[in-house]
Amino acid sequence: MADPIELMHHLANPNVQAFLRMLRHGEGTAGDDGYRVMFGGGHLAGLDGAPGTADDFADHPRRAITRKLGGNPITSTAAGAYQFLARTWDGLVKQYGFADFSPTNQDLGAVALIKGRKALDDVVAGRFEDAVRKCNREWASLPGSPYGQPVVTMARARQEYEAHGGTFAPAAPEAAATVADFINPAALAADTITPQPKEQPMAPFVAAVLPSLIDLVPKLGRLFSSGSETSERNIKAAEIVVAAAKEAIGARNEQELLETIQADPDAAALVRGAIEANWFKLEEVGGGIAAARAANAVYAQPGGQGFWHNPAFWISMGFLLLPVLIVIDMLFVHSEAYDATLRTQIVTAILALLGVVGAYWLGTSFSSQRKTELGAGAAKLPGV
């Protein structure tokens, strides 16, 4: 369990206190009763059911409340000065051992979330806008937040921060501009600049949660390269990843998915397993049968290395050899160990395996490629 002493030390910093007051302004909890506010405007009632008593802060209320926002119903368990979701608060309690939901612990919990976003050093140093950009996925009211909820402007956030004693780091001096900063030598020589195709934008909610999923499954990173020719593929792959992750833990939207996997290691493990289970879909987005054809063509071309150098050939041979060994064992070596049901299951599995291998080689064969080319050519003919 982490030691909250460090959080207490940072909570005493004037810039941290000013940043917290700025957060409360955006979350609508800046008043004296801000620590008691629940999503939708209600107030904590505690275990005794009577609001306005010390018992209000016994624990997070963990009540799911539905309200309309922008005409759309939104359900949330947010509560307290920093509108902690129940899952988020439970994660903080597990990490720091907070004994109750008191105002002091709420402040410490907010500092912990800032630290978790790697923005605490920026807050202390007065790098205000850097800190806001790092925290706007934690608090939906911050400028630039991707969750589609109402946000405060950066200017208003700065004003609120400064009004509560926050200071700003000195701006870095700008380097003197030179002629080279304004002239592209290559474009000047060609007297033209070729316009580059624009990448298709990714849905903001999907883009917001994607970095956390890549942290869970690092090999996802290689699927999301930049470049206009890959943008459509990236978007499709991202949608598959996020959909599988939400389904794995029953998250209703990307924000709930993001907050859950950050606060609950068990949920993160379920999401990781779901992404791995859907990896074949991501590989298909990454190239599928066309990529397999291209890889196999290297070995099939005249003067090439020969099919026996193709790794897929030897893998396929292994898949074919395995059924042969099983059949030999079933018929001749340990025939008494196989009853009728087991034999049927083995034969079915072998047929399925042979089907996979056959489909791979038929799908990547020259003749299949030729059919694809002929089909594409026919589609270009008038009247077809």
Beta strands in the chain (DSSP E): 65-69, 72-76
336 is known as an active-site residue = no
Is residue 76 within 8 Å of 39, Cβ to Cβ?
A: yes
Cα–Cα distance measured from residue 267 to residue 265, given in angstroms and rounded to the nearest whole number: 5
Beta pairing, strands 65-69 & 72-76:
antiparallel
Q: Which two tokens stand for residue 208?
A: 């917001």
Q: What angle do CA 71, 242, 70 make, to 5 degrees?
A: 10
Is residue 271 within 8 Å of 216, Cβ to Cβ?
A: yes
Length of the chain: 384
Q: Please pick, among 6, 27, 276, 373, the residue that the annotation labels catalytic.
A: 27
DSSP secondary structure of 16-35: HHHHHHHHHHHHT--STTGG
Q: Which of 103, 86, 111, 84 is closest to 34 using CA atoms?
A: 103
Is residue 76 within 8 Å of 103, Cβ to Cβ?
A: no
Which positions are annotated as active-site residues? 27
